[in-house]
Amino acid sequence: MNIIPRKFYLDDLFDNFMEGDASKMKCDIYEKGNTYFIEIDIPGFTKDDIKVECNNGNLVISAEKSQEEKEDDKKYIRRERVYGKYTRSFYLGEVDEEHISASFQDGILKLSIPKLQEQDTKKYIEIK
């Protein structure tokens, strides 16, 4: 019989020890037709806190949240909300950077990234 709960003393000491920034932004990536789709969980942020950039097939998503102003009369018992900058990056290859679209609702960032149409670069040589 345990009288003291298992997670009572130092219950959050090692919670984030092995986690990197990527653990804060869980994502699903899938392909449908000629388009990549990425859905990323970014709870607690607004769309103004999020920046998405694509350069030569490298997609970088970053979210930054600054700490709220310190109030002298608050004595925190526990403080779990984290502030800072989180970044995820992906290499997608040849994509149509001009037609990438993004939406953010209910803490989920959804990206639609069309692939470039493969151009036929074959050149047939006439045999004489």
pLDDT tens figures, 63-116 = 998 876 666 778 888 877 777 899 999 998 889 999 999 999 999 999 999 998
Residue 6 has pLDDT above 60, yes or no: no
Which residues does 84 contact at the CB level (< 8 Å), separation at least 6?
A: 64, 65
Residue 7 lies in a domain: no
Residue 127 within a domain? no
Whether 93 is covered by a domain: the verdict is yes
Asked, for residue 14, whether it belongs to a domain, the answer is no
Q: What is the CATH number of the domain that holds 61?
A: 2.60.40.790
pLDDT digits over 21-59, tens only?
456 789 999 999 999 999 999 988 899 999 999 998 899
Residue 42 is predicted with a pLDDT of 92
Other Cβ atoms closer than 10 A to 60? 13
| pLDDT for position 119 | 66
**pLDDT value for 44:** 86
Q: Using CA atoms, how far apart are residues 46 and 2, in angstroms rounded to an integer?
A: 43
User: Residue 100 is part of which domain span?
Assistant: 21-66+83-114
Q: What is the mean pLDDT of residues 7-11?
A: 50
How many structural domains does the chain have? 1
Cβ contact 36:113 at 8 Å: yes
- Whether 60 maps to a domain, the answer reads yes
Smallest CA-to-CA distance from 110 within 17, 40, 58 is with 40
- Give the per-residue pLDDT at 41: 94
* Segment 116-124 mean pLDDT: 74
> What distance lies between CA 126 and its chain's CA centroid?
51
> Is 39 contained in some domain?
yes
95 within some domain: yes
